[in-house]
Copies of this chain bind each other. A is one copy, B any other.
C-alpha cells in the first residue's frame, strides 16, 4: 500500500530523519525559522487554540543560562547546537480566541474561563504543535534534537512567566559527526492498534 506523499518526502520527514545529538556550525537563520513556522502554523489544534509559543535562544548569555538547566547528558549538545528553541504552552491562549476561532467568539469566556481547563487544553494542543514544529524543522532540511531532560521549573523561571508552561527544548541545525545512535526499535502495528 503506497501513500500519496512521495517516498523522498516520507524519508525526509520520518524514515531517514533522526534526532541529532551533534551539529555542524552552519547557522540557522531567522528566515528559515519563519519558513518553518509559516508551514506548520496550519497544523490543527482543538478550536484553533494555537497555544504553542517558541523562544529562540540566540545570545551567548541566554544560551549559557539555559544550559545550566539542562540534564547533564543534554548540556554539550545544547551548548553547541546552531540554534536552540524553548517550546512552551501559553495558558492564556484564550485571549486570542475571538480572533482565532471566529465561528464561536464566545468560547473565550464560555469554554475557557477556568485556568485548569486552559492548562490541560494548552498542554495537549501545544504538544501537537510541538510535533508539527519538529516535522517542520525536518521539512527545512534540518535536524531536530527535542529534549525533555531538563529542569522545567528552572527554565520557566529563567525564560518564561507563570502563564507559560515549558514543554521541551529543541536543538536545531545540520547534523554533525556521529550525529545519532543506531535507530531504536519501534512497536509493531499489532502492539499499538486494536480493532473493535
A residues with CB within 8 A of B: 1-6, 8-10, 12-15, 17, 19, 29, 31-44, 46, 48, 50, 52-59, 62, 96, 99-103, 121, 123-124, 127-132, 134-135, 138-141, 144, 146, 148-149, 159, 167-168, 181, 183-187, 189, 191-196
Contact = CB atoms under 8 A, between A and B. Distances in A.
Nearest to A160: B194
A52 B192 contact: yes
Given A14-B39, A159-B196, A189-B34, A140 B184 contact: no
Given A10-B39, A127-B124, A186-B42, A62 B196 contact: yes
A6 to B, nearest CB: 7
A26 B101 CA distance: 30
A15 to B, nearest CB: 6
Chain copies in the assembly? 2
B187 A100 contact: yes
Contact of A4 (B141, B185, B191): B141
7 contacts: A5-B139, A14-B132, A37-B192, A41-B192, A55-B193, A55-B196, A132-B135
Contact of A131 (B19, B131, B195): B131
A4 B12 contact: yes
Q: Which of A5, A99, A121, A124 has the most CB of B within 10 A?
A: A5
A26 to B, nearest CB: 14
Contacts of A36: 3
Q: Which of A3, A130, A159 has the most CB of B within 10 A?
A: A3
